[in-house]
Amino acid sequence: MALSRIKTGIFGVDEIIGGGVPQGRIVLVTGGCGTGKSIFALQYLFFGASELNEPGVYVTFDEMPDKIREDMAVFGWNIKALEDSGKIAIVDATSARAGSPSEEEHAVLPGQMDIDRLFVEIMSIARNIGAKRIVIDSVPAMAFRLDNPSDIRKNILKLAYVVSRSGLTALITSEVPEQPLSSNTALRFSKYGVEEYVADGVILLNFLGVGGASSTRTIYIRKMRGTNHTTEIHPIDITDKGIVVKKIEDVFK
């Protein structure tokens, strides 16, 4: 029986992963800095909320919510309007990380930076808006205050457990240094080397050949359980409408 799929809405991505992300699963979106991980994740939430009536929660440990709203408005995505209509909730976990208070409606306060409480809080917000999608951006920023590798591993496993049980379809982000994608190198997929194993899918974004043409941005599906996905490295663009997978014929135009 075919798996139910949740459309990412990212132009060209659903086509290379068999129609969308398997419902209720966790997909890791990983890559170097500025490769488009956050845009990818927000595009997924924006599309679900605006086109499919699938509410979503965005938990941000990295960027301040106001900056996210501003940056995404450049793509014509009115995140604020979707927050006002209860289709998107941004949970501000940056203040907890920085140890200062937040002015956001949904925030994890400094004293709550106990990861268990954080997860309970996030899931209650998800239930309140009837969320179908969730994004955790990013795992390294979530683990920022933990310095013991075994605590970090435990918390990533816990995150995966809580998210899986919730039935939400999740994107989590991690970081990995830029690396050449030639087939004879052993690629790395995450900061802690755990994220790719707790995830059902791994999407690697790259931005090599700095200074060259825009076709140096790529997407590569490393795994997607239950899915006959492509194995190529696809060129992508970040356009004024967000991320787009380019067709090979367009690259050689």
Note the residues at the interface with ligand ATP (CB under 6 A): 31, 33-39, 62, 74-75, 175, 238
Amino acid at 98: A
2 binds, among Mg ion, ligand ATP, none (CB under 5 to 8 A by kind): none
For ligand ATP, the closer CB: 50 or 174: 174
* Beta carbons of 161 and 170 less than 8 angstroms apart: no
Residue 169 has, within 13 A of its CA and on its CB side, a CA count of 20
Burial class (CB in 10 A: 0-12, 13-18, 19+), 223: middle
For Mg ion, the closer CB: 18 or 58: 58
Residue 35 engages Mg ion in binding (rule: CB under 5 A): no
60 binds, among Mg ion, ligand ATP, none (CB under 5 to 8 A by kind): none
Shortest Å, Cβ 37 to Mg ion: 5
| Rg of the chain (C-alpha set) | 17
Cα(178)–Cα(35) distance, integer angstroms: 9
35 binds, among ligand ATP, Mg ion, none (CB under 5 to 8 A by kind): ligand ATP
| Binders of Mg ion in range 210-229 (CB under 5 A) | none
Burial class (CB in 10 A: 0-12, 13-18, 19+), 53: exposed
For ligand ATP, the closer CB: 30 or 169: 30
Residue 38 engages Mg ion in binding (rule: CB under 5 A): yes
Residue 37 has, within 13 A of its CA and on its CB side, a CA count of 28
For Mg ion, the closer CB: 47 or 61: 61
Shortest Å, Cβ 33 to ligand ATP: 4
210 binds, among Mg ion, ligand ATP, none (CB under 5 to 8 A by kind): none
Cα(152)–Cα(190) distance, integer angstroms: 13
251 binds, among ligand ATP, Mg ion, none (CB under 5 to 8 A by kind): none
Which strands sit side by side in the sheet containing 26-31, from one edge to the other?
A: 88-92, 56-60, 133-137, 169-175, 26-31, 201-207, 217-224, 233-239, 242-245
Shortest Å, Cβ 38 to Mg ion: 3
Chain contacts with Mg ion (rule: CB under 5 A): 37-38
